[in-house]
Amino acid sequence: MEKTKFKRRMFAVAAIVGMGMTMTQIAFGKESFNAENGGLNYVLPADNGYYFLCGGHLYFWNGDVTKQAVPLCSRPNCSHTTEDCVAMIRDASRKMYEVDDGFYVLSTWPREDSRTGEKMMPIWRVEKDGSGKEIIAEIPEAGSVNYTIFQDKIYYTMEDAQEDGNYQFSIWQMSLDGKDNKQIWQSDLYSGYIDTLQGIGDWLYVSENGCEEIIDWTNEDNIDFEKLPMRTNLYLYQPQAEEWITNPDEYKKEDVLLSIQNIYQDEIYLTYYDSKAEIRKVWKKGFDLEDEAQFVGEFPRKAYKWDNLYGYTWPDRNNENENWFEIYDHNGTFVQKIDLYPYDDVDIVSADEKYAFVYWEQVQDNVSQDVIGVIERDKIATQEATLIQLTKGMNGNSFER
């Protein structure tokens, strides 16, 4: 990404955070995902364990905390460190979807089309038994891309750059085999970011942040970014009827459009940040559009919902050797504090009645490694819960460039 464009994208992210929109809010439950930032479909439950995507590898874990997860590859004597490994997807995005007996994963490492010379990003299908993988579709290379699979269709974003330095997003719909492709939506905001692109219930949810007017990037040093007319829009799309709804009233409270925080089982958790009070106000509602949102509570930090518990991460800014995950019940009663040090930037990415799956990055030999671990639910009552690492930190992005 060129330097100027990088600066502009950082402006978009900073503007979103300034509006109270957190970029990495996490969700729980068997139908859970990180709704912000496009949805983190890290963990998919199975009858005999769990599948998850981490560090460019697909893993299977049998649920035994005394054992590590294994790469989803059945090739004999495979080292799981080269591109021919079934489990490895080069520069894999942080989302995967289960379709029939396989997993769909987007690689953001482009391949050149032999016919057109255009750079395309492949969507891989990995067999559920680890026996093989194949490219089933491709989408054009983009500086920022978001994708999801919903009702047997692939949906992805395209970044439409303009000569004046601004850019807008469009959304495209493609068949699972990649043969049929059409544009279904065009943004009217500029130089922003699409947070959410995810199917929930009967609707495809799209959350976009951006500027209402074209930005004069030729005069970038004199732009007062705090005075730009930034806006957040929520769009819902019904594929069968090909119907779009913009900013439905069911997603507004106190004259504020709520952001999708997470999904917990069959409920959507919505939030906005009250900057004056420095608290996050949270509502919940069902999947049906007509369901009334119910107020949940106010939280001092990003709250992780897990069964009948809530948790907060509390890095001690005055002591670099402390980082905690504090767990409370719904009445606000303290239950347990789990020491996360030496890990930083820890997020809970999914959870069910047994485990919370925890994601973090660790540095090894000057290389950042994506890692996943778990916290056991039944150990919390006795205050014995600890963070258990499941992967060794193999890096799926460490190929020679």
Q: What is the token pair recorded at 73?
A: 């590859």
Residue scoring higher pLDDT (125 or 344): 125
Which of these ranges, 48-52, 126-130, 329-333, has the smallest mean pLDDT?
A: 329-333
Domain count for the chain, please give it: 1
Cis peptide before 71 (omega within 30 of 0): no
Which of these ranges, 37-51, 119-133, 187-201, 361-375, has the smallest mean pLDDT?
A: 37-51
Kindly indicate the confidence band of residue 323, based on its pLDDT and cuts at 50, 70 and 90. low
In a domain, 395, yes or no: no
CB 88 within 8 A of CB 57: yes
The pLDDT of residue 269 is: 83
In a domain, 394, yes or no: no
| The model's pTM | 0.82
Taking the CB of residue 191, how many other CB atoms lie within 10 A of it? 24
In a domain, 50, yes or no: yes
Q: Report the chain's mean pLDDT, rounded to a whole number.
A: 79
Candidate ranges 44-48, 159-163, 212-216, 268-272; pick with highest mean pLDDT: 212-216
Whether the pLDDT of residue 268 is over 60: the answer is yes
401: amino acid identity, one letter: R
Mean pLDDT on 277-286: 86
The pLDDT of residue 398 is: 34
In a domain, 176, yes or no: yes
The pLDDT of residue 321 is: 62
Indicate if the alpha-carbon torsion angle 238, 243, 247, 253 is positive or negative: negative
Residue scoring higher pLDDT (186 or 394): 186
Strand 102-107 relative to strand 92-99: parallel, antiparallel, unpaired? antiparallel
In a domain, 47, yes or no: yes
Mean pLDDT on 192-206: 88
Quick: pLDDT tens for 76-105.
999 888 889 999 998 888 788 888 889 999
In a domain, 32, yes or no: yes
In a domain, 28, yes or no: yes
What CATH number did the domain enclosing 374 receive?
Answer: 2.130.10.120
The pLDDT of residue 41 is: 58
Whether the pLDDT of residue 277 is over 90: the answer is no
Taking the CB of residue 140, how many other CB atoms lie within 10 A of it? 15
**What are the backbone angles phi and psi of residue 22, rounded to the nearest 5°?**
-80, 145
Candidate ranges 84-98, 268-282, 310-324; pick with highest mean pLDDT: 84-98
Share of the chain above pLDDT 70, in %: 77
Domain assignment of residue 352, given as a range:
3-389
